[in-house]
Amino acid sequence: MSAKRFTFKSTFVILLAVAALVGPLAPLTAVSAHAEKAVAPEKNPPGDIPDTQVFIPYQSAGYSLQVPEGWARSGTGPTVRFVGKLDAVAITISKAPAKLDLAWVKDSYLPVLEKTGRAVKLGKTSTVTLPFGQALRIDYSDNSEPNVVTGKQVRLEHNLYLFEQGGKMAALNLSAPYGADNVDQWRLMSRSFGWK
C-alpha cells in the first residue's frame, strides 16, 4: 500500500472517529473552524457529576470501561456515547495508525479535530501513564451542538484519551460544560479503561 493511499485512508478513518466523538452525526461540511465563534463559558457552569454518582462496568468491542449509572446510551459496538444532561462519555474504536505517538497526533489527528469540531480551541497534548499502560491525552474546548428548542450553545471542555493495542485505537472522550468540577470522576473513568 502506498504512503499516499495509507494517509488518505487514515485521515478518512480519523474523520469518522472524530465526528462520532464531537457530537451527533451531521454533515461534516456544515461546520468549519472559521464559521463559528467560541461561546463564552458560563460563570457557574452546570455539569458537575455528583460525588455520589455510581459507576458500572460496560464492555463492548474488545474493551471495558466504568461509566455513570443511569446515563442515556446511544450507539453500539465500536461507537458508543453515554450522556447525562450536558456531560458525555464517548468511545470510538478504529484502526490504529502505523505509529500512535505525539507527532502523529499533532500532524494528523488535531487538524481533523479542529476542522470537524465547533470553534475548537486546543489545549495541552501529552503522554500519560494509566493502569493498563501509556495513552495520549488531548485537552481541548469547543461549542456544544445548539439546543434543538432554544438554539443555545454551551462551551464544553474535553479530556480525550487515545489508547492503542493490536492494531486498534480507542478514543475515549470525556466532556462537560467548561469549568465543571469532574476531575475525580474523569480520573476514575480514564483509569478504568482496559482492553479485553
Rounded to 5 degrees, φ, ψ at 30 are -70, -20
What 3-state class would DSSP assign to 145?
Answer: coil
Q: Which residues does residue 122 pair with via DSSP β-bridges, in sequence order?
A: 140
pLDDT at residue 99 greater than cutoff 50: yes
Bigger pLDDT: 171 vs 16 = 171
pLDDT at residue 15 greater than cutoff 60: no
Distance of CA 122 to the CA centre of its chain: 13
For residues 25, 31, 37, 40, the Cα torsion angle rounded to the nearest 10 degrees is 0
What 3-state class would DSSP assign to 33?
Answer: coil
The DSSP code sequence of 35-53 is: T-PPPPPPSS-S-PPPTT-
For residues 24 and 27, what is the distance between their CA atoms, to the nearest angstrom?
A: 10
pLDDT tens per residue, range 152-173? 999 999 999 999 999 999 999 9
Q: What count of other Cβ atoms lies within 10 Å of the Cβ of residue 43?
A: 6
Q: What percent of the chain has pLDDT over 70?
A: 83
Mean of all residue pLDDT scores within the chain: 86
Q: What is residue 72's predicted lDDT score, i.e. its pLDDT?
A: 97
pTM, two decimal places: 0.83
Strands 55-60, 133-143: pairing kind: unpaired
pLDDT at residue 141 greater than cutoff 80: yes
State the average pLDDT over residues 80-95.
96
pLDDT tens per residue, range 30-86? 444 447 999 998 877 778 899 899 999 999 989 999 999 999 999 988 999 999 989
Strands (E), the chain: 55-60, 63-68, 72-74, 79-84, 87-95, 121-130, 133-143, 155-165, 168-177, 194-195
Q: What is residue 2's predicted lDDT score, i.e. its pLDDT?
A: 43
Task: Map out the domains of the chain with their CATH numbers.
Answer: 3-23+53-195 (3.40.1000.10)
